[in-house]
Amino acid sequence: MLKKLDKYFEEAICTFCLCVVVGSVLMQVVLRIFFSSAAVWAEETAVYGMIFAVYFGACMAVRDRGHIRITLVVNRLPRRWQVASVVLADLLWAGFIVFMVVQTVTYSQLLFNVTYQTPGLGIEQRWVQVVIPIAFSLMLFRILQVYWCWGTNHWKGLPL
């Protein structure tokens, strides 16, 4: 069960979020064309669904090492420099992620001190925004997971 959760967690969330986006936009189009009406919440739902899909898609790319890298240059280096350049890049990236977690948690804490409801859905904005530090934390977890797997593989190859 944990292996399936590890393998399909981000895919399930992204699939659900993109289905929400498509369903909301399609419903809005049908309502406007055929009924000359509109749902107040549909656009907001589509926007939040897309934002969540992007953040969790980024987490999925971290897990699969699917982010853009200049591997052409790295692959031409000696093994020692290959490892050093990939690890340095990942350390800088992890540092950025830690910075973003701290900043987004601080921002989310500010939202817990005020009441701000989304105009269309009428839910508290804090519950929407709290997904962002969760996604960045998941990205950091996935980076650490990649290095854990690389270590258990006796440091063979690159952590790609």
Kindly report which listed range (15-19, 45-49, 66-70, 104-108) carries the lowest average pLDDT score.
66-70
Are the beta carbons of 45 and 120 closer than 8 angstroms? yes
- Say what the pLDDT of residue 19 is: 97
Reply yes or no on whether the pLDDT at 12 is more than 80: yes
pTM listed for this prediction: 0.88
Distances (CA, A) of 123 to 10, 55, 79, 116: 24, 20, 52, 8
H-only helix segments in 36-78: 42-64, 71-75
pLDDT higher than threshold 80 for residue 159: no
Region 49-64: mean pLDDT is 94
